[in-house]
A = this chain, B = another copy of it.
Amino acid sequence: MAETGANAAGGEGLLFLTDEQLRKGIEAMFFAYRGFTADPDRILEGMDYGRAHHRALHFVHRQPGLTVSTLLAVLGVTKQSLNRVLRTLIDDGLVESRIGRKDKRERHLYLTDKGGALERELSEAQRVRMRAAYRAAGPQAVAGFRQVLEAMMDPDLRRQYLMLRDRA
């Protein structure tokens, strides 16, 4: 294990931020994200679905009954882009779309049993990797991991994330 730089600077609480240190973080994000998505991608290839479907399933699972516009905001894509993905999920019977009772313009989204099954398969694959990484790095590292990631988010996205994070 090479020196981490952050600690090498010696100052507890004082961050020695060379461009080198930052660059390592940037490259770590790049390579790690590929690993992060690799397992679900592997499962989905062959099915007619992709990463976009996975994301939709994930957040519908997380927040059953959410409206399309809420999902839109969370995913940060256009409604047209989401629609294509959602369309296939609904047509294939993975997601159910119910018209709102109060406001009939809204569509509330739910996973069907079939949709729930796929979501579980995908997220379990992702959790296996995440669990292994957490175990390898240890609890202290895990806390730091999340802190840095949260600090890296755009403010709007962080709001979204925190709302979900501390729900229920």
* A residues in contact (CB < 8 Å) with B: 2, 4, 6-7, 9, 11-15, 17, 19, 21-36, 38, 55, 58, 62, 76, 123, 126-127, 129-154, 157-158, 160-161, 164-166
Most chain B CB within 10 A, of A19, A26, A27, A123, is at A27
A22 touching B127 by the CB < 8 A rule? yes
What number of copies of this chain does the assembly contain?
2
* Chain A interface main SS type: helix
A149 touching B153 by the CB < 8 A rule? no
A44 nearest CB across to chain B (Å): 16
| Chain B residues within 8 Å of A32, by CB | 29, 148-150, 152-153
